[in-house]
Amino acid sequence: MHELGHNLGLKHGGAEASNFKPNYISVMNYAYNLNGIPVADAPGSPNLRLCNTEEDCGPPTVTSGTCATPNACHCTDDGLSVYGFNYCYRLDYSALNLPSLNELSIAPGLDGLDENIGVSGPSSDEDIVFYWIPGPSQQRGVSNGGAIDWNGDGVIDSHVSADLNDDGFLTLLTSQNDWEKSSGKFVHLNFTFQCASGAKSQ
């Protein structure tokens, strides 16, 4: 599905190539391209929803959220041997244009990341986001607008600098709704991308 996305004109960061952005929840993002988008056990929780069978990840067991749609979420079949448990995940392109994340606070109290609101997703959202803290160490966070300790210092602050995607730079991380439509047509999915000038570079 990741490679198909490239054939539709999507990049690792949606509209551009920046990778591992916590506010771009899509299989195009390397954080999700191999193992899918993990689902939390509840909105606001960074804990994985554990499962034993496919039925544990969808209806009638799950009655609310994205996984309540038949066949939207699945149970891993190799997690037991790797992690000691299986968990629910889903495969999708980004369905939300989340607010941009400014990794740089230019001075105390100015710009930067607001840890109080995380990625500012809908309150019911159950996706798990991945981000990096100094070390570097990859962490799990919530997608529903709950707090995320972006710099890993144990304190929730309003103006923080942190390299969330571990690319060595403090930049503005944008998002994109890959499924966005305008006048009934997809805005970002290009079904004739193979004919575009940039097709060979993907």
How many angstroms separate the CA atoms of 166 and 22, rounded?
11
Q: Which of 77-86, 129-138, 160-169, 175-184 has the lowest mean pLDDT?
A: 77-86
* Mean pLDDT confidence for 59-76: 95
* Mean pLDDT confidence for 53-80: 95
Residue 146 falls in which region: left (phi positive, over 0), alpha (psi -120 to 50) or beta: beta
**pLDDT for 82:** 85
* Mean pLDDT confidence for 101-120: 96
Check: pTM over 0.85? Answer yes or no: yes
**pLDDT for 197:** 62
pLDDT digits over 149-175, tens only?
Answer: 999 999 999 999 999 999 999 999 999
Per-residue pLDDT band for 81 (boundaries 50, 70, 90) equals confident
pLDDT digits over 89-101, tens only?
Answer: 999 999 999 999 9
**pLDDT for 198:** 60
> Average pLDDT, whole number, for the chain?
94
Contact 96, 121 (CB under 8 A): yes
Burial tier of 26 (Cβ tally within 10 Å: 0-12, 13-18, 19+): buried
